[in-house]
Amino acid sequence: MTTTTMSHDEAHHHGAPTGWRRWLYSTNHKDIGTLYLLFALTMLFLGGASAMLIRAELFQPGIQLIDPDLYNNLVTNHALLMIFGAVMPAAAGLANWMIPLMIGAPDMALPRMNNLSFWILPAAATMLILSFVVPFFPGGGTQINTGWTIYPPLSVQVGMSMDFLIFAIHLLGISSILASINIIVTLLNMRAPGMTLMKMPMFCWTWLVTAFLLILVVPVLAGGVTMLLFDRHFGTSFFDAAGGGDPVLFQHLFWFFGHPEVYILLLPSIGVLSHVIPTFARKPLFGYRSMVGAMLAVATIGMVVWAHHQYTIGMSLGAVTYFMVGTILISIPVGLMVFNFIATMWRGAMTFETPMLFAIGIILMFTFGGLSGVMLAVVPADMQYHDSMFVVAHFHYVLMPGAVFGLFAGVFYWLPKWTGNMYNERLGKIFFWINVIGFNITFFPQHFLGLAGMPRRIIDYNVMFTEFNVMSSIGAMIFGLSHLLFLYIVIQTIRGGRSLKKSENKSWEGAKGLEWEVGSPPAFHTWETAPQIK
């Protein structure tokens, strides 16, 4: 542990430590990256199971499987598990694995803190799961029936499980802030000599901006939920009109975090795309500079348009006009990004391995989600869409392709690098098609449900909404179960064996960058001497 002697120091330049200590005590970015990814995969299945239970309940009108409070509890937990448990840790896992390899650094800048930011996550997950199960114990109070937005006064009514949830959010916040500090410091301080910021791989750029956003907005969420905690237990009245507070204040604090959070989820995947598309189109990324500029613009505008999640709370004409125009303007940098990706594909020599299939899927479906986003940005029309199933469809079209498919693309793209084995391409392609078709069957009909008048977060609906709900539920089962195939492919690739090809150092013909110069799998320590960049 304490290593004040020199002899110890030499030891860690060799192979990996063994046994459980390797993982629990790790200070190695690759091991910690693996831990992040495994954690995310576990949470993906927990969140997915809750989603499938929700859709199973909605398969038919009436209340068949679960009671309304459990339903709302699942709605809450599905969101939190997916956002904080699956997507963010998976993106952090990619960052941990790839950033030091890409910039020629020996490890993350603060390796011990890196391990802390990972290990807080299981603690947070424990609290989150406790918040779900505590009501089932005697004296455990009522279930969390508020949705992940935990708006007061409803969240003040909930029993002790809400306190577990609030503390889980605190832990998740600490973890994200520590991880972000580490990533920013690594990117600013650890780049190989000669690698200027404008030569940095795009994935690193996206994470720099993401980490910056996290550091700025997560503390605000922490402040908001702390105020909620005080309102619940210590008699304050931040969100109580009788004492001069305002329930809407919480919504402002929440969405000041919540809207940038959308970009926090999206940007790392945009970064993955910026590597996948050039590799498989066999030509350089189109518009590197405009990409960086667009990303900075998205982050900046994204910080100041949060209230478009609350158009219906009663804001003055001036305020809604400002938030509407700001939100619509986001389409400019986002449009530029999508354009750059298409222009990278244009006149390339494309092949369609699984990562590229996901990339093209993202471009098409994310554009779709983005365009329904522009519709939602229009205040008067949002008076109709708000809190309907249309919104559910919209943000799943943004977050599934925009964030999760990007992560899938990243995993397939770098899995050969991590394991040294090529995954089974045939199975990868099958997974892509089942996944994408299942996804569309699930969420496309929800647009119509929303327009026809079905609110979101209801357990029971009128018979007029039956047909589309049946479709959506069938799609959800296909979509949900398809991830078992993903699990199988990943395990198969990790285990290797004779049926799989070995990966070369450069796993893909068109791949470029420092990460392809180290071995596949890379040695336990890489780039102990930094490469020189021309």
Partner 1 sequence: MCFKSIYTIKPLLLILGVLLLGTAQAEYGINFPEPAGKVARDIYDIHMLTMQIATFLLIIVFSIVLYSVYFHRKSRGYQADQNFHNTWFGHWSWVIVPALVLGVDFTIAHGANTVLKTVWDVPKEKDIMDLKVTGHQWWWEFDYLDHGIKIESRALTEDKAGDLYLRDVDNRLVLPTGTKIRFLHTSADVNHAFWVPELAFKKDAIAGYVTETWIEMDREGVFRGQCAELCGTWHSRMPIVVEAVSPEKFAEWVGKEKAVEEAAAAEASSEKSWSKEELMAKGEALFNTKCAACHQINGTGLPPAFPPLKGSPIATGAIVDHLKIVLNGKEGTAMQSWSSLNDLEIAAIITYERNAWGNDTGDVIQPADVKNAR
Partner 2 sequence: MSAKEHSSHYFIPDPSPWPVIGMISLLSTLFGAALAMNGVSLGKFIVIAGLLLFAYLLFGWFRDVIAENLSDRYNKQVDRSFRMGMMWFIASEVFFFGAFFGSLYYIRNIALPWLGGEGYLGVTQEILYSQFQMAWPSAGPGELGGAFTPMGPWGIPALNTFLLLSSGATITWAHWGLKAENNQQLVRGLIATIALGLLFVVMQAYEYGHAYSELNLTLGSGVYGSTFYMLTGFHGFHVTMGAIMLIAILGRSMKKHFTAHNHFAFEAVAWYWHFVDVVWLGLFIFVYWL
Residue 317 interacts with partner 1 (CB under 8 A): yes or no: yes
Q: What is the per-residue DSSP string for 38-49?
A: HHHHHHHHHHHH
User: Could you tell me if 179 and 207 are in contact, meaning their C-beta atoms sit under 8 angstroms apart?
Assistant: no
Residue 289 interacts with partner 1 (CB under 8 A): yes or no: yes
Binding mask 18-57 for partner 2 (x = CB under 8 A): ---xx-xxxxx-----------------------------
Alpha helix segments (H runs only) across 2-160: 6-11, 20-24, 29-57, 68-80, 88-103, 111-133, 154-157
Kindly tell me which of 318 and 497 has the beta carbon lying closer to partner 2. 318
Residue choice 184, 228, 391, 454 for contact with partner 2 (CB under 8 A) = 184
Q: Beta strands of 24-163 (E only): which ranges? A: none
Residue choice 34, 76, 182, 354 for contact with partner 2 (CB under 8 A) = 182
Residue 297 interacts with partner 2 (CB under 8 A): yes or no: no
Least distance between partner 1 and beta carbon 200 (Å): 18
User: What's the DSSP call for residue 61?
Assistant: S
Q: Which tokens go with 171?
A: 């832990």
Give the span between the Cα atoms of 209 and 263, in whole angstroms. 9
CA distances for 430 relative to 73, 241, 441, 488, angstroms = 33, 55, 17, 12
**Candidates 26-34, 68-76, 169-177, 209-217; binding stretch for partner 1 (CB under 8 A):** 68-76
Residue 514 interacts with partner 2 (CB under 8 A): yes or no: no
Angle made by CA atoms 170, 174, 179, in degrees to the nearest 5: 150
316: region left, alpha or beta (phi > 0 left; psi from -120 to 50 alpha):
beta
User: Could you tell me if 427 and 293 are in contact, meaning their C-beta atoms sit under 8 angstroms apart?
Assistant: no
Kindly tell me which of 501 and 525 has the beta carbon lying closer to partner 2. 525
User: Could you tell me if 127 and 170 are in contact, meaning their C-beta atoms sit under 8 angstroms apart?
Assistant: no
Least distance between partner 2 and beta carbon 232 (Å): 8
Q: 253 touches which of partner 2, partner 1, none (CB within 5 to 8 A by kind)?
A: partner 2
Tell me which residues in 13-52 interact with partner 1 (CB under 8 A).
Answer: none
Residue 365 interacts with partner 2 (CB under 8 A): yes or no: no
Residue choice 60, 154, 246, 504 for contact with partner 2 (CB under 8 A) = 246
Residue choice 3, 133, 153, 188 for contact with partner 1 (CB under 8 A) = 153
**Count of CB atoms situated within 10 Å of the CB of 237:** 13
Binding mask 83-122 for partner 2 (x = CB under 8 A): ----------------------xxx-xxxxx-xx-xxx-x
Tell me which residues in 335-394 interact with partner 1 (CB under 8 A).
Answer: 335-336, 338-340, 342-343, 345-352, 360, 363-364, 367-368, 371-372, 374-375, 378-381, 383-384, 386-388
Residue choice 252, 282, 501, 525 for contact with partner 1 (CB under 8 A) = 282
Count residues near partner 1 (CB under 8 A): 102
Tell me which residues in 74-133 interact with partner 1 (CB under 8 A).
Answer: none
Residue 123 interacts with partner 2 (CB under 8 A): yes or no: yes
Binding mask 456-485 for partner 1 (x = CB under 8 A): xxxxxxxxx--xx--x--------------
Alpha helix segments (H runs only) across 190-246: 202-233
Residue choice 27, 42, 226, 440 for contact with partner 1 (CB under 8 A) = 440
User: What's the DSSP call for residue 388?
Assistant: B
Q: Which tokens go with 324?
A: 């509407």
Least distance between partner 2 and beta carbon 50 (Å): 21
Q: Which tokens go with 77?
A: 């937990």
Please name the residue that has the structure tokens 């392609």.
429
Please name the residue that has the structure tokens 């000599």.
193
Residue choice 331, 395, 425, 492 for contact with partner 1 (CB under 8 A) = 331
Q: Which tokens go with 440?
A: 């569309």
Tell me which residues in 222-281 interact with partner 1 (CB under 8 A).
Answer: 240-242, 246-248, 281
Kindly tell me which of 3 and 237 has the beta carbon lying closer to partner 1. 237
Binding mask 150-179 for partner 2 (x = CB under 8 A): ---------xx--xx--x--xx--x--x--
Least distance between partner 2 and beta carbon 321 (Å): 13
Give the span between the Cα atoms of 109 and 93, in whole angstroms. 15
Residue 192 interacts with partner 2 (CB under 8 A): yes or no: no
Least distance between partner 2 and beta carbon 166 (Å): 8
Helix axes 247-281 and 389-399, enclosed angle (nearest 10): 40
User: Could you tell me if 99 and 526 are in contact, meaning their C-beta atoms sit under 8 angstroms apart?
Assistant: no
Residue choice 42, 236, 367, 466 for contact with partner 2 (CB under 8 A) = 236
Q: Which residues contact 507 (CB under 8 A, 6 or more apart)?
A: 416, 417, 422, 516, 520
Sign of CA dihedral 326, 83, 216, 96: negative
- Measured in residues, the chain has a length of 534
Tell me which residues in 160-219 interact with partner 1 (CB under 8 A).
Answer: none
Tell me which residues in 390-429 interact with partner 1 (CB under 8 A).
Answer: none
Residue choice 65, 215, 430, 478 for contact with partner 2 (CB under 8 A) = 215
Q: 345 touches which of partner 2, partner 1, none (CB within 5 to 8 A by kind)?
A: partner 1
Please name the residue that has the structure tokens 């519709």.
375
Q: Which tokens go with 58?
A: 């909605």
User: Could you tell me if 382 and 311 are in contact, meaning their C-beta atoms sit under 8 angstroms apart?
Assistant: yes
Kindly tell me which of 155 and 507 has the beta carbon lying closer to partner 2. 155
Sign of CA dihedral 458, 459, 463, 467: positive
Q: How many Cα atoms occupy the beta-carbon half-sphere of 143 within 13 Å?
A: 18
Q: 484 touches which of partner 2, partner 1, none (CB within 5 to 8 A by kind)?
A: none
Q: Which tokens go with 196?
A: 């200027």
Kindly tell me which of 73 and 115 has the beta carbon lying closer to partner 1. 73
Residue 312 interacts with partner 2 (CB under 8 A): yes or no: no
Give the span between the Cα atoms of 414 and 508, in whole angstroms. 10
Count residues near partner 2 (CB under 8 A): 91
